[in-house]
Copies of this chain bind each other. A is one copy, B any other.
């Protein structure tokens, strides 16, 4: 009976990892769609968001069912409660890819990203990919050190974010306010996706130790 329960817990963890990998590919595709003004790729990312949302619902239903029927305590309880929170963060990361793809679609056939900013956005997409890839592994490995190190990759994202804003406010930025708005929002989407990943890595710390890791605020 308990063995079957632990198999169910493992399934939940695998489901979370699968969700993270789906978010990773959605983010990568959204970035490509954005930088290449690829309408059909943008549409595909937008459609895919429902799949991520549906995964969250199924995962949460399963988690609630186990909470209700298995009356878990200690680390088993933490696995289930943490799963509810991770799924919410992952769903939100999926929303960020969705937002990026929607902006790509809105500006098509033009691109929302002028040449002066495209390298920075490309880098933000690349760093997001690295962070989410690591996260997918950490969800399964529960490696606390790797979880804590994710904050370092997030610092890289924050640097890119500041660089993007610097580009926008430089005197020779020749584009419209609309373009500044687009890039401000895009910068925020990537930064938030990385923040959610860090938030999930903190939940791994809690899951393993039962303690809260200090937040950077």
Contacts and interface: CB of A to CB of B under 8 A. Distances in A.
4 nearest A-B residue pairs (beta carbon): A71-B71, A184-B184, A177-B180, A180-B180
A145 interface: no
Q: How many copies does the complex hold?
A: 2
Contacts of A73: 68
Contact of A188 (B84, B168, B185, B212): B185
A77 B84 contact: no
A77 B64 contact: yes
Contacts of A57: 212
Interface string A59-101: 0000010011001011001100100110010000000000000
Given A168-B178, A184-B184, 7 more contacts: A64-B78, A71-B71, A85-B88, A169-B176, A169-B178, A173-B177, A188-B188
Interface string A142-185: 00000000000000000000000100110001001110110011
Interface residues of A, number: 30
A133 interface: no
Interface of A: 49, 53, 57, 64, 67-68, 71, 73-74, 77-78, 81, 84-85, 88, 165, 168-169, 173, 176-178, 180-181, 184-185, 188, 212, 215, 217
Contacts of A217: 49, 53
A83 to B, nearest CB: 11
Nearest to A68: B73
B67 A67 contact: yes
Given A169-B177, A184-B184, A185-B184, A67 B81 contact: yes
Contacts of A49: 217
A49 B177 CA distance: 32
Contacts of A177: 168-169, 173, 177, 180
A173 to B, nearest CB: 6
Given A180-B181, A181-B165, A74 B68 contact: yes
Contacts of A168: 177-178, 181
Contact of A84 (B74, B85, B173, B215): B85
